[in-house]
Structure 1
């Protein structure tokens, strides 16, 4: 009998209780890891479905052109080579319109239609730098080429006004490179500079990349998408982003990039020098779920702390199993959140999952703590905690600041309420 009383007294010791509660909290990290793996799995599945759907509509758009391509004879190797000449002036005016998202099952893909209005002019091609005699140049076999990775997504035929002529383009490929090439043009008697203009209508998704090959390149991009990300080799000269969309402009000189206006034998891959705009979703549903799950251990720890303080101050005994049940309920919040988010918005899912868990834990605590005021306090504390975490998830630039201030306030409150606890008992 005495040994049993000692054993009971041992488990009622405050330090032992803290150790056991801490151990349970650590054990609950295991299901939290499974939750995060579930989020990763669903997120990866979403990316796969989005990739499949956008591939049919149109992928990220890349534009490299227009470029004059002129064949010439290489006397050293006695082979036919090509010389490539970039525009003197190049103006790109791009308008994009976000379309209704493509849906497959529970997943949605953001897509857009784009209209490229391309204008500019070419100076006379200069072969003198490479000491190529005029007699070895096939001026009458010149063509205009435009490289793009999205030929299948073109919405209309492509033509170009070349001086006073109209050029038509046909699709072609060179190994893995897709491009449009014009009819033959005879440059033997052409008077330079020659102006050009063309309109290209194309479907796309994710991003638009343009290589600034003009000696002077001007780009204007307008869209009704309100969350662009401007990447690439050079940042916009000006930008204006609002809730209705964005407008950005670039002005790039040949001094700003490390390649010349003439290229011989091969056309280099200049993608790393492109100007890129990404049409991103700032924080998608799975990113929000992932950020919420990262606070899982914090929620469990603080909830256990509230129960421990109530238990200690009110002298009400709680069994370790009851802590474990409360912890499992807190973990279930995240599985509910993921499942509901896939069929609704994150905010709606967060409210439903939060209310469900708060109600369950409050009713459970009413039963084990036997007083309404404790259950009400726990419900209020959990609601405030979930609201605090929701605010942090929505914030981007100020998440760390708000989170740090909030945690400091929580620590201060815990220190205040625990100041009279006799820890040696």
Structure 2
């Protein structure tokens, strides 16, 4: 029995193939704790999203504003055939149906001042805002000439004004719309539509028989993540001013390049959208469709997401573990210094610990400092450990240089966006070339 164990031990110490198989098996085993680390990163990122959503929900979520819009009821008639038992014939009956027409503004000018602040809960933070919004514009006359609706079936006496919003809870003032110098208060209207609706009282007396009708209103609203507007005006102009330094302009329309300004103190942006730029007209009959997909505006983002950077770093964990074990394997084969499989396993666990250190430190410090601390701790630990194994200074210095270069290379890659694949491919090619030429020194005849 003792002789059999000695043969196995001698086979591992003398056979290159045996050492490669054992190190390969250890590498596969280390993928298990590396997978647990990736799950931990996703769990922490999910927790961050949940906390931010909870904060935003209490303050006020994303704001989308659509309107104002004039709503005019009108009657149509449907024909019904009723069978008369006495005469054995069908009689025609006309049933009255109430519908609504919707008129969008001729011009719409929006001015928005957005004041931001960052809210924190524990280690998590989000950006929220309070916005003062002014809307001004004009309505032209309804054009029923394209329909077969008689004038007497149009109920102008019950015309109202609508304003739709995605964030009714965030409104901080009573919204009063002035139309032709007469004020109307907009009140919430219960419906199950995609957006909450505010509706005024009847505005018949404020509608001009000929010419345009002017309107203006002011809104104070709390929100988070984004502020967007639907371009309901035949000519819509939007100006936005904010103290936030990292805006992301999104939606169907981008601000005018010549007027857009972004500095460390904030930004300003201006949009102009014409009816010809949209895919809908100025009037709707029967129902008002969902126009949210045409909304545009600004998202207020926190530019650095350390969880995303940590997750990107962990994707290179297989590369770091594999190359480090390969370096130790090549040292063992070339120098004939014995390295026990348990020692390989300890080195691999130290490499896995880099990611737990990185995510835990980055929750309290910036990512650069967290990466620097975690990298120095792991590289220093493995270098010191290798000195006790390899019994000289030359090979530990090789380990130190290899790991330092590898972690520096990974850090450069995760900072890049457009060139990450290019730089990564070139780096891997160079690493492969180094391994190929280093392996020429090995006597492969001893299998």
In 1, Cα distance between the equivalents of 2:265 and 2:321? 41
Tell me which residue corresponds to 2:315.
Answer: 294
In 1, Cα distance between the equivalents of 2:264 and 2:340? 53
Distance verdict in 2 for CA 1:24–1:111, change over 3 Å: same
Aligned pairs for 1:341-420 (under 5 A) are 341-420=362-441
Tell me which residue corresponds to 1:61.
Answer: 63
In 2, Cα distance between the equivalents of 1:188 and 1:114? 30
Tell me which residue corresponds to 2:73.
Answer: 71
The answer to whether the 8 Å contact 2:207/2:213 transfers is no
| SS of residue in 1 equivalent to 2:364 | coil
In 1, Cα distance between the equivalents of 2:5 and 2:97? 100
Instruction: Identify the match of residue 165 of structure 2 among 129, 148, 157.
Output: 148
After TM superposition, the score normalised by the length of structure 1 is 0.92
Alignment pair present for 1:316 and 2:317: no
In 1, Cα distance between the equivalents of 2:129 and 2:401? 45
Most deviating of 138-147 and 228-237: 228-237
In 2, Cα distance between the equivalents of 1:34 and 1:338? 13
Tell me which residue corresponds to 1:11.
Answer: 12
Deviation at 1:261, TM superposition (A): 1.0
Larger Rg: 2
| SS of residue in 2 equivalent to 1:312 | helix
Distance verdict in 2 for CA 1:82–1:270, change over 3 Å: same
In 1, Cα distance between the equivalents of 2:156 and 2:421? 63
Tell me which residue corresponds to 2:90.
Answer: none
Instruction: Identify the match of residue 217 of structure 1 among 219, 236, 249.
Output: 236
Distance verdict in 2 for CA 1:213–1:295, change over 3 Å: same
Deviation at 1:148, TM superposition (A): 0.2
Deviation at 1:419, TM superposition (A): 2.5
Alignment pair present for 1:88 and 2:106: yes
In 2, Cα distance between the equivalents of 1:388 and 1:79? 71
Instruction: Identify the match of residue 250 of structure 2 among 228, 231, 234.
Output: 231
Stretches of structure 2 lacking an aligned partner (at least 5 in a row): 79-94
In 1, Cα distance between the equivalents of 2:121 and 2:301? 19
The answer to whether the 8 Å contact 1:14/1:424 transfers is no
Tell me which residue corresponds to 2:274.
Answer: 253
Most deviating of 268-277 and 75-84: 75-84
Tell me which residue corresponds to 2:220.
Answer: 201
Distance verdict in 2 for CA 1:59–1:199, change over 3 Å: same
Deviation at 1:61, TM superposition (A): 0.7
In 1, Cα distance between the equivalents of 2:294 and 2:207? 32
Most deviating of 68-77 and 396-405: 68-77
Alignment pair present for 1:339 and 2:360: yes
Deviation at 1:4, TM superposition (A): 5.9
Deviation at 1:118, TM superposition (A): 1.8
Most deviating of 299-308 and 66-75: 66-75
Matched pairs, number: 424
The answer to whether the 8 Å contact 1:140/1:188 transfers is no
Most deviating of 288-297 and 126-135: 126-135
Alignment pair present for 1:125 and 2:129: no
In 2, Cα distance between the equivalents of 1:17 and 1:240? 61
| SS of residue in 2 equivalent to 1:17 | helix
Tell me which residue corresponds to 2:47.
Answer: 45
In 2, Cα distance between the equivalents of 1:330 and 1:188? 74
Query: What are the Cα deviations for residues 389-421 of structure 1, in whole angstroms up to 9, with x where unaligned?
Result: 122222222222222222222223323333322
Deviation at 1:346, TM superposition (A): 2.1
Deviation at 1:326, TM superposition (A): 0.5
Cα RMSD, aligned residues only: 2.3
Distance verdict in 2 for CA 1:188–1:392, change over 3 Å: closer
In 1, Cα distance between the equivalents of 2:99 and 2:27? 71
The answer to whether the 8 Å contact 1:15/1:423 transfers is no
In 2, Cα distance between the equivalents of 1:46 and 1:30? 25
Deviation at 1:347, TM superposition (A): 2.1
| SS of residue in 1 equivalent to 2:186 | strand
| SS of residue in 2 equivalent to 1:214 | coil
Query: What are the Cα deviations for residues 145-201 of structure 1, in whole angstroms up to 9, with x where unaligned?
Result: 110021211122222332333333223332244122233212564442122222222
Deviation at 1:253, TM superposition (A): 2.2
| SS of residue in 2 equivalent to 1:259 | coil
In 2, Cα distance between the equivalents of 1:188 and 1:220? 28
In 1, Cα distance between the equivalents of 2:288 and 2:5? 87
Stretches of structure 1 lacking an aligned partner (at least 5 in a row): none
In 2, Cα distance between the equivalents of 1:392 and 1:227? 23
| SS of residue in 2 equivalent to 1:128 | coil
The answer to whether the 8 Å contact 2:126/2:302 transfers is no
Query: What are the Cα deviations for residues 23-76 of structure 1, in whole angstroms up to 9, with x where unaligned?
Result: 211211111111111111121121111111100101011111110112223344
Deviation at 1:6, TM superposition (A): 4.4
